[in-house]
């Protein structure tokens, strides 16, 4: 079973590599690893969501590592504008490969915008996890929560250790 | 290792000096082995309505912190069960469904649409991710694990495999599965087509998203009956035995569930109303 999982992971990596030409879609300051990309300037949760904090707005999505492991996303359930999200609690779900998977909010705050494109194009989460696949924009209620999130290098190491453990 | 040996010695000492026979000695080994495995609570149901079963599963997934194996030997009436994102207008022949008053449920897990009845066998596994080391809380990883587990159940049955996320004998599907993954837990549940009524398949449309191996076959050409491959009781017992190799099993009665799952939880499994089905048929809403 371990060999099958390794083979599956390798196949996915090759698929990523062969379609890595889409890496031109990623900003030039990305850290590119064998299996997934991690961007500078973002913060990451151990549940694989990312946060991009700009001024009073924090944009949230799921990482390239997460979308790769989830498989093709076919449906996304997101909260409504003006609802609240709470750090470490789920705010929505994605469906992929017959599974619903919770999305956990890395910070607390008020939802000020939802990516409505994901309703018709959930695959944006796979093709552009850090740009067009963003999920919600939040007005943080406690910006200090961002301090406890991982930076790019820490998150990269976290992903490598998590994959190596299985 | 030292602590385990010491514990085992004490267990044997207690048994020997309490006057127990060698049978007690064998029980000590079994119990000592079980203590190394995570606990799995086993609930056996028969003919439980599928809506009730799904409500129970969602409750145990969200409000319990233990592992669960639920086996339901058939459900009471033919019922259509759609995945979280299912749209009735796209998946169901709504005219006949409403005319024949077939219940339609939207469940909390992903995946496709099935019609289940008294011939269907249900097996659901709810696990803490830390109790299944080597399995990441992602769909394909969980499914690889479950495929291996059922490989043990069907060992020797020609053609069994997990194929593009379906359980098949050869190129014919006999089990539909789906999952839900939350923070530290996941559920993998399956409806096994022990037998089915061809007429019931007519309530389902050909879905737009199908596995490649299906080609363009309709339901009757695509699925097969599990009863042609294995005895019903044999399947249930082999499944429990396969799970028991990875977990220490403990039978739990449904009446005792309240003590295991407390507090409020999100309830997303529901029965669609006739009004929703009518609106879906008339195309006035996309939300059902």
| B139 closest CB neighbour out of A71, A77, A102 | A71
**Cβ within 8 Å of residue A61, ≥6 positions away:** A49, A50, A125, A129, A130, A133, A134, A135
Give B242 to chain A, closest Cα distance, Å. Answer: 15
- Whole-number pLDDT of residue B249: 97
Which residues of chain A are within 8 Å of residue B178 when distances are taken between CB atoms? 98-99
pLDDT digits (tens, 9 = 90+) for B201-219: 899 998 888 888 988 888 8
**A64 phi and psi, to 5 degrees?**
-60, -40
Q: Do residues A146 and A140 make contact, with C-beta atoms less than 8 angstroms apart? A: yes
Residue A166 — very low, low, confident or very high, per pLDDT cuts 50/70/90?
confident
Q: How far is A104 from chain B (nearest CA, A)?
A: 8
The H or E element containing residue A98 is: none
ipTM, interface predicted TM-score of the complex: 0.83
Question: Which tokens hold the place of B75?
Answer: 């459900």
Residue pairs spanning A and B at CB distance below 8 A? 85
Mean pLDDT of B133-142: 92
| Cβ neighbourhood burial of A33 (10 Å; 0-12, 13-18, 19+) | middle
Buried b (16+ CB within 10 A) or exposed e, A128-148: bbbebbbbbbbebeeeebeee
Rounded (5°) CA angle B150-B139-A34: 120
Per-residue model confidence as pLDDT tens digits over B8-54: 444 443 344 334 344 444 445 455 555 689 999 999 999 999 999 99
Contact residues, chain A, for B142 at CB < 8 Å: 99
The pLDDT of A24-43, averaged and rounded, is 65
Nearest to B171 by CA among B232, B212, B143: B212
Q: Which of A10, A99, A165 to mutate to test the interface with B (most CBs of B within 10 A)?
A: A99
B211/A106: higher pLDDT: A106
What contacts B50, CB < 8 A, 6 or more positions away?
B72, B75, B79, B81, B105, B116, B122
pLDDT at B288: 54
CA atoms within 13 A on the CB side of B52: 12
Question: Cβ contacts (< 8 Å) between B111 and chain A: which residues?
Answer: 98-99
Contact A47 B183 (CB under 8 A): yes
Q: Residue A92: its pLDDT value, please?
A: 96
More confident residue, A29 or B57: B57
Best CA proximity match to A43, nearest among A161, A157, A146: A146
Q: Which residues contact B138 (CB under 8 A, 6 or more apart)?
A: A69, A70, A71, A99, A101, B181
List residues of B whose CB lies inside 8 A of any A CB: 83-85, 108-112, 133-145, 148, 165, 177-183, 186, 209
DSSP A119-160: HH-TTHHHH-TTTTT--EEEEES-GGGGGGSB-HHHHHHHHH
B63 within 8 A of B262, measured Cβ to Cβ: yes
Global confidence as pTM: 0.84
pLDDT tops 70 at residue B261: yes
Confidence of residue A24 (pLDDT cuts 50, 70, 90): very low
In sequence order, what are the beta bridge partners of B169? B160, B172
Contact A8 B181 (CB under 8 A): no
Considering only alpha carbons, which residue of chain A is nearest residue B209? A74
Q: Which residue has the higher pLDDT, A50 or B198?
A: A50
Average pLDDT, chain B: 87
Phi, psi of A115 (to 5 degrees): -75, 95
pLDDT for A36: 80
**pLDDT over threshold 70, residue A164:** yes
The pLDDT of residue B89 is 95
Bridge partner list, B92: B204
- Name the token pair of A152: 């790019």
pLDDT tens by residue, B160-195: 999 988 999 999 999 989 999 998 999 999 999 999
Region A37-54: what's the mean pLDDT? Answer: 96
CA distance B77 to B200: 11
List Cβ neighbours of B156 (8 Å cut-off, separation of 6 or more). Answer: none
Nearest chain A residue to B136 by CA distance is A166
Mean pLDDT, chain A, whole residue set: 84
Reading phi first (left if > 0) and then psi (alpha if -120 to 50, else beta), residue B165 is in left
Q: Residue A117's CB: how many other CB atoms inside 10 A?
A: 13
Please give the structure tokens belonging to residue B245: 């190799």
Predicted pLDDT of residue B6: 44
Name the helix (H) or strand (E) containing B68: strand B67-73
The three-class DSSP label of residue A80 is coil
A160: pLDDT strictly greater than 90: yes
Residue B86 to residue A123: CA distance in whole angstroms:
17
């Amino acid at each position: 079973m371990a060999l099958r999982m390794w083979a599956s992971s390798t196949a996915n990596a090759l698929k990523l590599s062969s379609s890595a030409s889409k890496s031109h879609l990623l900003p030039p300051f990305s850290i590119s690893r064998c299996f997934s990309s991690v961007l500078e300037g973002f913060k990451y949760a151990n549940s694989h969501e990312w946060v991009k904090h700009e001024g009073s707005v924090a944009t949230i999505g799921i990482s390239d590592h997460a979308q790769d492991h989830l498989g093709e996303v076919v449906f996304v359930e997101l909260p409504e504008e003006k609802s609240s999200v709470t750090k470490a609690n789920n705010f929505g779900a994605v469906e992929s490969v017959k599974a619903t998977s919770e999305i956990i909010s890395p910070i607390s705050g008020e939802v000020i915008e939802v990516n409505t494109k994901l309703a018709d194009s959930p695959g944006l989460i796979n093709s552009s996890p850090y740009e067009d696949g963003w999920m919600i924009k939040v007005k943080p209620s406690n910006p200090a929560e961002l301090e406890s999130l991982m930076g790019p290098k820490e998150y990269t190491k976290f992903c490598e250790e998590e994959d190596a453990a299985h | 290792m030292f602590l385990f040996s010491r514990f085992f010695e004490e267990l044997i000492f207690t048994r020997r000096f309490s006057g127990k026979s060698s049978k007690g000695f064998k029980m000590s080994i079994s119990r000592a082995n079980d203590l190394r495995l995570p606990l799995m609570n086993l609930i056996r149901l028969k003919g439980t309505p599928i809506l009730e079963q799904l409500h129970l599963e969602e409750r145990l997934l969200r409000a319990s912190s233990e592992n669960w194996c639920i086996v339901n030997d058939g459900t009471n009436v033919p019922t259509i069960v759609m995945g979280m994102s299912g749209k009735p207008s796209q998946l169901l022949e709504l005219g006949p469904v409403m005319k024949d008053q077939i219940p339609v449920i939207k469940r909390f897990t992903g995946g496709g649409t099935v019609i289940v009845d008294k011939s269907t066998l249900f097996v659901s596994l709810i696990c803490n991710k830390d109790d299944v080391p080597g399995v990441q809380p992602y769909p394909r990883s969980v499914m690889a694990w479950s495929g291996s587990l059922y490989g043990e159940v069907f060992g020797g049955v020609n053609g069994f495999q997990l194929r593009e996320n379906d359980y098949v004998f050869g190129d014919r599907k006999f089990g539909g599965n789906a999952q839900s993954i939350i923070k530290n837990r996941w559920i993998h549940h399956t409806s096994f087509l022990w037998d089915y009524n061809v007429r019931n398949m007519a309530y389902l449309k050909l879905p737009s998203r199908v596995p490649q191996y299906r080609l363009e076959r309709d339901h009757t050409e695509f699925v097969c009956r599990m009863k042609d491959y294995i005895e019903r009781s044999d399947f249930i017992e082999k499944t429990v035995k396969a799970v028991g190799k990875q977990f220490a099993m403990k039978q739990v009665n449904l009446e005792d569930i309240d003590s295991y799952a407390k507090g409020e939880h999100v309830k997303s499994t529901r029965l669609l109303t006739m009004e929703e089905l009518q609106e879906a048929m008339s195309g006035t809403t996309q939300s059902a």
